[in-house]
């Protein structure tokens, strides 16, 4: 039996590369899984089969985290099966590739609505349930190293992740007396999602990025999942309001790459 046996993890952005890796790792440790995303349910079937093959209960619900009513409905469904989530993994995010002078109001609003508002709705809804039931738990926000460092081609993403960092600290302060620990995992360049698609199309761009990273390698989604699982470990009882930075040394540099 894994160290998360009997626990239930709820994961937003559950069908993305990082969300999938987190779901598989937590299930490997025995947690039941409630996935949420905006994709068609048919796309969740292969992952659900993988999770269930590990001997845990798993479900998928279509849930847009930028809609608080949709978040509430998702939690109610998860409570019915597999159970009240006590591992809350706030992972859903979108990114717009443009500069601060070109991004449209609609793009700006959508990115902050998903990345920041959605993170608040998901964490608050889950935390209220835990407090009402007298349950302890863990909340893990998926942040980014760019919360420290402005990047000219993803301005709204940087702003949203900077806001997420303070959101994490606010929840951590409020929930610590309740036995609910709240932390952030902040990756650097992950070879997944939109980045992976771009790198496959432009291998030279990937080589250039590798030269910017002090450890000279990209992060795999499974590495991120291991850090999320670490923060969910029941013996991790003191770490709250912290940022687990895993950026390969990018934040050690005053200029981590080209600025155009």
Q: What is the pLDDT of residues 44-74, one digit of tens each?
A: 999 999 999 999 999 999 999 999 999 999 9
Instruction: Please check the confidence at residue 133 and state whether its pLDDT lies above 70.
Output: yes
Could you state, in order of their start, the residue ranges of all structural domains in the chain?
Answer: 8-190+220-245
Structure confidence at residue 8 as a pLDDT band (50, 70, 90) = very high
pLDDT of 202 over the 50 cut: yes
Report how far apart, in Å, the C-alpha atoms of 38 and of each of 65, 84, 94, 173, 193 are.
9, 21, 12, 31, 15
Task: Tell whether omega for the bond before 82 is within 30 degrees of 0, i.e. cis.
Answer: yes
Average pLDDT over residues 114-124: 98
pLDDT of residue 255: 61
What would the CATH number be for the domain defined by 8-190+220-245? Answer: 3.40.50.720
The larger pLDDT score, comparing residue 194 to residue 104, is at 104
CA pair distance 127, 178, nearest whole angstrom:
10
Catalytic residues: 157
Is the pLDDT score of 30 beyond 70? yes
Segment 215-234, tens digit of pLDDT: 999 999 999 999 999 999 99
Helix (H, G, I), strand (E, B) or coil at 102: coil
Of the listed ranges 70-84, 169-183, 197-211, the one predicted with least confidence: 197-211
Determine the pLDDT at residue 227. Answer: 98
Among 41-50, 126-135, 195-204, 217-226, the minimum mean pLDDT is found in: 195-204
pTM metric for this prediction: 0.95
Q: What is the pLDDT of residue 200?
A: 80
Kindly report the average pLDDT of the chain as a whole number: 94
CA distance to 5, 170, 176, 192, per residue, from 164 (Å): 29, 10, 18, 21
Query: Which of 13-27, 194-208, 237-251 is predicted with the least confidence, judged by mean pLDDT?
Result: 194-208
């Amino acid at each position: 039996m894994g160290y998360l046996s009997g626990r239930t993890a709820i994961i937003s952005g559950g069908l993305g590369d990082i969300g999938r890796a987190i779901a598989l790792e937590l299930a490997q440790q025995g947690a039941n899984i409630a996935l949420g995303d905006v994709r068609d349910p048919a796309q969740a079937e292969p992952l659900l089969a993988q999770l269930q093959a590990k001997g845990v209960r798993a479900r998928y619900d279509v849930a847009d985290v930028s809609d608080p009513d949709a978040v509430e409905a998702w939690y109610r469904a998860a409570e019915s099966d597999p159970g009240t989530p006590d591992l809350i993994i706030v992972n859903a995010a979108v990114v717009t590739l443009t500069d601060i002078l070109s991004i449209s109001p609609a793009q700006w609003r959508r990115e902050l609505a998903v990345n920041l508002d959605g993170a608040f709705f998901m964490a608050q809804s889950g935390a209220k349930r835990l407090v009402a039931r007298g349950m302890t738990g863990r909340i893990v926000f998926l942040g980014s190293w760019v919360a420290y460092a402005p990047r000219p081609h993803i301005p709204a993403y940087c702003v949203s992740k900077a806001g997420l960092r303070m959101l994490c600290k606010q929840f951590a302060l409020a929930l610590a007396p309740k036995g609910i620990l709240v932390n952030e995992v902040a990756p650097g360049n992950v070879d997944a999602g939109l980045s992976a698609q771009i790198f496959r199309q432009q291998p030279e761009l990937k080589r250039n990025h590798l030269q910017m990273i002090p450890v000279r390698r990209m992060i795999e989604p499974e590495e991120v999942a291991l850090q999320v699982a670490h923060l969910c470990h029941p013996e991790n009882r003191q770490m709250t309001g912290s940022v687990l930075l895993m950026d390969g040394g990018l934040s050690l540099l005053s200029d981590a790459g080209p600025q155009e």
